[in-house]
Structure 1
Amino acid sequence: MKWFFKIIVLSILLQSFQCTDPNDSSENITSEELEIKKQEIQNYINSFSCSESVGCGFIAFGTKPCGGPWSYLLFSNAVDIVKLQEMVKNYNEMNKQYNLKTDAVSDCMYQIPPTEVKCVNGVCTIIK
């Protein structure tokens, strides 16, 4: 029975000394890098125009420390949605890691997604 207890204690101790990957860049994320990624996404979205026939969409953007998105990005449906989703997914993960690293806080207010987005004069606009 003593050996069993020692094995349990030893396994718990070993788990508490888990190694970290020195190549893990999530600990090195800076606010400047987040801003650059955000601008890349905005530039990508802005390279497409909308029209009545193409329409618009929106996607949750950023990660609040309390959970949920910081905002919603509007985009023309002419974008490559898979590419945009991947770009935003990567940004949101970086934002989440940055929040953890910096012990960030937020207002924890729920950001309500748009219910209707339309193309108005060539610009995606929230109607409701």
Structure 2
Amino acid sequence: MKWVFKVLAISLVLQGFQCSDSNNTSGLITSTQLETKKQEIQNYINSSSCYENLGCGYIAFGSKPCGGPWSYLVFSNSVNLDKLKEMVLNYNEMNRLYNIQTNAMSDCMAITPPTEVKCVNGVCTVIK
């Protein structure tokens, strides 16, 4: 009977050392995938300069485990807003699913949106 427990214990330990599936066919969201999506969004935002006459906007970004965004991204109104919204919506949903999969926790503090964003030297900036 002892050997059954030994075999079971060894198999459980070995499962912990399995190689990860780089193709992620399991459907689980990884932190690497989230970081990659986040960087794509940042690169998209950074590809557009702001101009005083176009102004800037902001959008809720991420999904805290208790609800609400992790932060707000500021962007130039020269970006394709529909494309940005779609990218952020996809990221937020991935973040929400990741939180569920990992039983993530957060401080549950509400993050307030900026009250004013302006174009300062070609960069959208939070003023207040």
Q: What TM-score, normalized to structure 1?
A: 0.79
CA distance in 2 between partners of 1:26 and 1:113 (Å): 35
Deviations 1:46-82 (A, max 9, x none): 0000010111000000000000000000000000000
Instruction: After TM superposition, give the deviation of residue 28 of structure 1 in Å.
Output: 1.1
Q: Segments of 4+ in structure 1 off by > 2 A?
A: none
Correspondence for 1:104: 104
Instruction: After TM superposition, give the deviation of residue 105 of structure 1 in Å.
Output: 0.2
**Unaligned 5+ runs, structure 2:** 1-24
Residue 95 of structure 1 aligns to a residue whose secondary structure is helix
**Unaligned 5+ runs, structure 1:** 1-24
Alignment of 1:1-128 (within 5 A): 27-128=27-128
Please give the root-mean-square deviation of Cα atoms over the aligned residues, in Å: 1.2
Distance 1:106 1:54, change over 3 A: same
Q: Percent identity?
A: 72
Q: What TM-score, normalized to structure 2?
A: 0.79
CA distance in 1 between partners of 2:58 and 2:91 (Å): 16
